[in-house]
Amino acid sequence: MQPDCAPCGAGFTTNGASGQAACTACPLGTFKAADGDGACVSCDPAYTTSEEGSSTCDILVPCAAGQYRVPGEATCVSCPAGSVSEAAGADSCTLCAVGTFAPTAGLTACQACDPGSTTQGEGASSCSTQPCDAGTFNADTGANPCSACPAGTYQDGSTPTACQPCGINQVQPDPGQSSCICAPGSYSPTGAGPNCAECMVGFYADQPGSTECNACPAETFQALPGQAYCDLCPPGSSTSGQDGQANCVAAEVFPPCDPGTVSNTGNSPDCQPCVADTYQAESGQTACFACPTGQTTAGLTGQTECVEDAPDACPPGTFNLASGGVEPGCQSFQLRGSCLAKSSSGSSTSWTAQPHSIAQPPS
């Protein structure tokens, strides 16, 4: 007599075999929905089971890396170009950062841009081949933004991955420049490289970017080419008033000007006498002094001193009895009395009054 056989419950099966003492649980990813005989069925690809012996597929399968699942939907979607998902089970994709890109859909990592290129923003599917402007560079993969070339270097647009050092006789004091300028002591017609020439001896350029060199002023010199300054002549030497000299020569010694004479240097041979009403009591001087008030040189030049000024005599037609005939206080002469002058015409004679021919001072 056969014992009573019980049907397998949901999630369990005998896999079609007879004479089984127990039912076998459906493996993970399979299920059997009802009691009784029957085989386990594989879950839909988007789902799985949470455990063996399941009667339903109740768990969504995590999307693979490079994919994501829209919330509420079962289907996995590949991340579009410019974005990635690095791990399985993502419900969204991550945009590639600036300086990186994802060229196709379904990628798990962004790629760095090559040196000298970058992206214009996040989520790029490609890199710009030469985004760095002149004066800037990008030496690292994925670097952004482009960096300014440091002082002393330049980038003219032809080498976006590196800045170039300034050449001979060139300098660049500012960062982010596309060219270098002539260094102090050198020049070019434009003031910029690459063909900056040294100033020749006797000349200098004290500023960067000079378009010409300046002659050393008189009494200074420069014996070396390519200099930014001139040196003063040593004591006892001179350039004899000449500009642009490479050296100084021993100065000629001239005797000092005599008292009463002066020159621009205080020495001969260009000594000139002091003009009237000025004086100079010492030798070797460069200027004359005006006579003090009340003193004069009496119209003489080249004087070493001034003398007291004599009072002015009364002008013609005036007098001053109190001071002996000198200013101030001179008065005009006055007429006193008159004379009769005789005149005849035919048989008649007439007399008219005339002033004295000699004026007299008033009494």
DSSP secondary structure string, 293-356?
A: TTEE-TT-SSBSS-EEPPPPBPPTTEE-TTTTSBSSS-EE-B---EEEEEEEETTEEEEEEEE-
**In the CATH hierarchy, which fold is given to the domain comprising 180-253?**
Tumor Necrosis Factor Receptor, subunit A; domain 2 (2.10.50)
Phi (first) and psi of residue 197, to 5 degrees:
-105, 150
Q: Are the C-beta atoms of 171 and 181 separated by less than 8 Å? A: yes
Residue 358 — very low, low, confident or very high, per pLDDT cuts 50/70/90?
very low
Residue 211 has pLDDT above 60, yes or no: yes
* CA neighbor of 13 nearest in space, from 52, 57, 58: 52
pLDDT-above-90 percentage for the chain: 51
**What class has domain 1-61?**
mainly beta
* Apex 186 CA angle, 182 and 187, nearest 5: 65
**In the CATH hierarchy, which fold is given to the domain comprising 254-309?**
Tumor Necrosis Factor Receptor, subunit A; domain 2 (2.10.50)
pLDDT at 287: 96
Residue 340 — very low, low, confident or very high, per pLDDT cuts 50/70/90?
very low
Q: Distance (Å, rounded) from C-alpha 271 to C-alpha 221?
A: 28
pTM for the model stands at: 0.42
At 131-162, the pLDDT tens digits run 678 898 877 765 556 789 999 999 998 888 88
Task: Tell me which of 19-28, 155-164, 253-262, 347-356 is least confident.
Answer: 347-356
HSE-CB at 324 with a 13 A cutoff on CA atoms is: 2
Q: Which long-range contacts (CB under 8 A, 24 or more apart) does 336-341 make?
A: 336/360, 336/362, 336/363
Residue 350 — very low, low, confident or very high, per pLDDT cuts 50/70/90?
low
HSE-CB at 197 with a 13 A cutoff on CA atoms is: 10
CATH 2.10.50 fits 63-130, yes or no: yes
- Computed over every residue of the chain, the mean pLDDT equals 85
At 41-84, the pLDDT tens digits run 998 888 888 899 898 988 888 889 999 988 777 788 999 999 99
Residues of the chain within CATH 2.10.50.10 domain(s) are: 1-61, 180-253, 254-309
pLDDT at 360: 46
Task: Tell me which of 7-21, 195-209, 337-351 is least confident.
Answer: 337-351
